């Protein structure tokens, strides 16, 4: 009996020391929290348009771009920093007439690509003996649920309408206990990046 106990102890030690190294998540666990929204703002705004998101992530629905765009627009509006016009207004012009700021073409276009999407990320594909994700079996019980995280990531670009110059681009990602929280975290971080990166001279409305 003592011999069996020693064997079990050794096996658990190997799992603890070796297994964890194999399945270490590429993104730090965030304990399911969603980043706080941007701080309140009441100054001048930048006039922007947001294109429909391109979808390249294998596990995302091909028609997800429209709903993701609408959610992103909501996050940008909540920041209080932007006048957001419909994307068709980019080519509409003003026909020589003065228009209200919210009806005129935008100064900047924001584009997005959803290139990573994992509805229930496992933190890695390696398992003991080549078995499945870390959320199953004895290993999942030992490591806890923090290794099972939903994950998504976006490539964001800020483009000047006047000359089509890409002013800035970045890769933002979010990870949380479920996909809705992961999406919220990603979009809030994208909105934060945009608000901090757009040159100050575009805030004039």
How far is the CA of 71 from the CAs of 67, 183, 186, 188, in angstroms? 6, 9, 11, 10
Q: Which tokens in the block code for residue 24?
A: 């270490």
Q: Which tokens in the block code for residue 169?
A: 């681009």
In degrees and rounded to multiples of 5, residue 191 shows phi and psi of: -65, -40
Residue 149, by phi and psi: left (phi above 0), alpha (psi -120 to 50) or beta?
A: beta
Residue-wise DSSP of 174-202? EEESSHHHHHHHHHHHHHHHHHHHS-GGG
The CATH number for 21's domain is 3.40.50
pLDDT of residue 63: 86
pLDDT of residue 122: 53
Global pTM value: 0.65
Strand, coil or helix: what is 18? Answer: helix
**Into how many domains does the chain fold?**
1
pLDDT of residue 96: 43
**Could you list the residue range(s) of the whole structural domain that residue 69 is in?**
2-202
Instruction: Determine the straight-line distance between the first and last CA of the chain, rounded to whole angstroms.
Output: 78
User: Tokens 């020391």 label which residue?
Assistant: 17
What is the pLDDT tens value at each position of the chain, 205 positions in all? 555 445 444 544 443 443 333 322 333 334 344 455 678 888 999 999 999 999 999 999 888 889 999 999 999 998 999 999 986 544 444 444 444 455 688 999 999 999 999 887 554 433 333 333 333 344 334 444 445 688 999 999 999 999 999 999 999 999 888 888 999 999 999 999 999 999 999 999 9
Interacting residues of 95 by C-beta distance below 8 A, sequence separation 6+: none
How far is the CA of 149 from the CAs of 29, 30, 119, 153, 193, in angstroms? 8, 9, 8, 13, 23
For helices 179-197 and 65-79, angle between their N-to-C axes, nearest 10 degrees: 50
């Amino acid at each position: 009996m003592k011999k069996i106990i020693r064997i079990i102890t050794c096996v658990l030690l190997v799992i603890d020391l070796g297994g964890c190294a194999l399945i270490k998540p590429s993104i730090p666990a965030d304990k399911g929290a969603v980043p706080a929204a941007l701080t309140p703002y009441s100054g001048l705004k930048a006039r922007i348009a947001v294109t429909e998101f391109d979808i390249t992530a294998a596990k995302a629905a091909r028609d997800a771009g429209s709903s993701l765009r609408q959610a992103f627009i909501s996050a940008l509006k909540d920041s209080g920093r932007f006048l957001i016009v419909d994307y068709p207004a980019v080519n509409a012009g003003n026909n020589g007439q003065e228009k209200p700021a919210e009806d005129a073409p935008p100064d900047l276009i924001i584009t997005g690509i959803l290139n990573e999407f994992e509805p229930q990320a496992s933190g890695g594909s390696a398992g003991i003996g080549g078995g499945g994700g870390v959320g199953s079996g004895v290993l999942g019980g030992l490591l806890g649920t923090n290794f099972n995280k939903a994950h998504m990531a976006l490539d964001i670009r800020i483009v000047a309408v006047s000359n089509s110059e890409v002013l800035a681009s970045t890769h933002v990602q979010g990870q949380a206990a479920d996909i809705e929280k992961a999406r919220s975290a990603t979009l809030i971080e994208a909105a934060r990046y945009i608000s901090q990166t757009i040159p100050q001279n575009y805030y004039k409305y």
